[in-house]
Amino acid sequence: MKKTIACILLISVVSSCTSKTEKQSGPEPLPIIGTWQLLSGTLIEKGDTVVTDYTKGRSFIKIINATHFSFTQHDLNKGQGSDASFSAGAGTYTLKDSTYTEHLTYCSDRAWEGHDFSFTLTLQSDTLTQRGVEIVEATGVNRLNIEKYVRVKNQ
């Protein structure tokens, strides 16, 4: 009986001295999961700057879940008139610190499919800014793209 109590006591002492492995703490990932409305886009290419206001005449949303993203853009005139437009794309992404990299698997402009695009993200309150270089050699695209989104609130 004394040996049993001694063994239990010894096991208790040894197990209480064992250190637990602590999870390494690092910066929290940016909370980007959700639906985002594009407010403005700035393209800088070959010295020219084009700023597009996506709140007038068109709508563009990006939806991000834990592993995938998608985007859809269209005019607000139901495809009628000279400003008729539609584009869409989707794929997977990675997020490491503030570096967000999209792998575009599907795109209405098929020359963009299969490309990776890395952006630096900044998040302030409900505003997400995405900044990075887009290169698609087949189309001659080599430009800096800066996009400003606002989080869509659940209705």
Cβ contacts of 140 within 8 Å, gap of 6 or more: none
- Please, are residues 78 and 58 in contact by the beta-carbon 8 Å criterion? no
How many Cβ atoms sit within 10 Å of the Cβ of residue 34?
A: 16
What is the predicted pLDDT for the residue at 30?
82
What is the predicted pLDDT for the residue at 119?
98
Per-residue pLDDT 10s for the chain (155 aa) are 556 555 454 455 445 554 444 455 566 678 999 999 999 999 999 999 999 999 999 999 999 999 999 999 999 998 898 889 999 999 999 999 999 999 999 999 999 999 999 999 999 999 999 999 999 998 999 999 999 999 999 76
Q: How far is the C-alpha of 155 from the C-alpha of 151, rounded, in Å? A: 12
Q: How far is the C-alpha of 146 from the C-alpha of 120, rounded, in Å? A: 10
Q: Which helix (H) or strand (E) holds 5?
A: helix 2-17
Which is nearest to 66 in space by CA: 106, 46, 93? Answer: 93
What is the predicted pLDDT for the residue at 26?
60
Q: Which residues pair with 35 in a beta bridge?
A: 63
Q: How far is the C-alpha of 2 from the C-alpha of 9, rounded, in Å? A: 10
Which is nearest to 42 in space by CA: 135, 136, 134, 114? Answer: 134
Domain boundary assignment for the chain: 28-151
Superfamily of structural domain 28-151:
Uncharacterised protein PF14869 family, DUF4488 (2.40.128.490)
- Please, are residues 114 and 104 in contact by the beta-carbon 8 Å criterion? yes
Q: What is the pTM of this model?
A: 0.79
What is the predicted pLDDT for the residue at 134?
96
